[in-house]
Amino acid sequence: MESVAFIQWCLDNLNYWTITLLMTIESSFIPFPSEVVVPPAAYKAAAAGSDLNVFLVVIFATIGANLGALINYYLAYFVGRPIVYKFANSRLGHICLIDESKVQHAERYFDDHGALSTFVGRLIPAVRQLISIPAGLAKMKLSTFLIFTTAGALLWNAILAAIGYYLYSVVPEDKLMATVTEYSSEIGYIFIAVGVLIVLFFIQKGRK
């Protein structure tokens, strides 16, 4: 209950530091959707006289996303596969909404799509938070990991911010989250399709 109250306090007091903190949590193994952070912050930034700037919202959200991704990357990098799967099968792992099948799914996705998966995976629901784990297990080069992760997180956060900023003029605040959830779900499906097309393009290019 204390953790819930803390998160609610952050949401009620959105600033660049709480945005970074919440997005760090969101990108680590702790379950917390980015949809409840970036769109409300952008919504707030759209108000006249706001102390938030929508472009800085995206930047700080991406910084937080990278910090959370690095937590997963380094944990997997140093502790290895047996301990990662032991955690996934533990009670704490289940509390964090992680289980063996989800980690296996993220690993298969990484194995199938390689380094590109750290970019595309940031755009896909249920893969976004965990894609850093197989990258760490595979000991992917840190600079490559950061480039793809930053690009994917930046694109996703920019889209969420654009949604929140636009909704300020058409949706009352009490209906914001329901509308954002609807938009983000549809966008997630679009990105899955786009991701598949990108992977197929690179596979075809590699064959040539």
Q: Is the pLDDT of residue 47 over 80?
A: yes
- 57-73 per-position pLDDT tens digit: 999 999 999 999 898 88
Going by pLDDT thresholds of 50, 70 and 90, the confidence category of residue 10 is low
Q: How far apart are CA 167 and CA 178, in angstroms?
A: 11
Residue 57's pLDDT is 95
Select, from the ranges 54-58, 95-99, 120-124, the one with the highest average predicted confidence (pLDDT): 54-58
- Which of 66 and 99 is assigned the larger pLDDT? 66
Q: How far apart are CA 127 and CA 195, in angstroms?
A: 12
pTM over 0.85: no
In one letter, which amino acid is 123? L
- Which of 56 and 29 is assigned the larger pLDDT? 56
Q: Is the pLDDT of residue 199 over 60?
A: no
Using only C-alpha atoms, the chain has a radius of gyration, in whole angstroms, of 17
Residue 3's pLDDT is 44
**Residues with Cβ within 8 Å of residue 204, at least 6 apart in sequence:** none
80: left (phi over 0), alpha (psi -120 to 50) or beta: left
126: left (phi over 0), alpha (psi -120 to 50) or beta: left
Say if CB 24 and CB 67 are below 8 A apart: yes
When pLDDT is averaged across residues 24-49 and rounded to a whole number, the result is: 81
Say if CB 131 and CB 109 are below 8 A apart: yes
Q: What are phi and psi of 172, to 5 degrees?
A: -65, 155
Q: Percent of the chain, pLDDT > 70?
A: 57
Q: Is the pLDDT of residue 41 over 70?
A: yes
Residue 100's pLDDT is 63
Q: How far apart are CA 172 and CA 65, in angstroms?
A: 28
**Residues with Cβ within 8 Å of residue 184, at least 6 apart in sequence:** 35, 39, 160, 163
**Residues with Cβ within 8 Å of residue 110, at least 6 apart in sequence:** 117, 118, 121, 131, 134, 135, 138
Going by pLDDT thresholds of 50, 70 and 90, the confidence category of residue 9 is low
Q: How far apart are CA 134 and CA 84, in angstroms?
A: 10
- 128-178 per-position pLDDT tens digit: 777 787 777 778 888 888 998 898 889 889 988 988 888 888 777 777 767
Please name which of 131, 125, 89 lies closest in space to residue 111, comparing C-alpha atoms: 131
Say if CB 152 and CB 7 are below 8 A apart: no
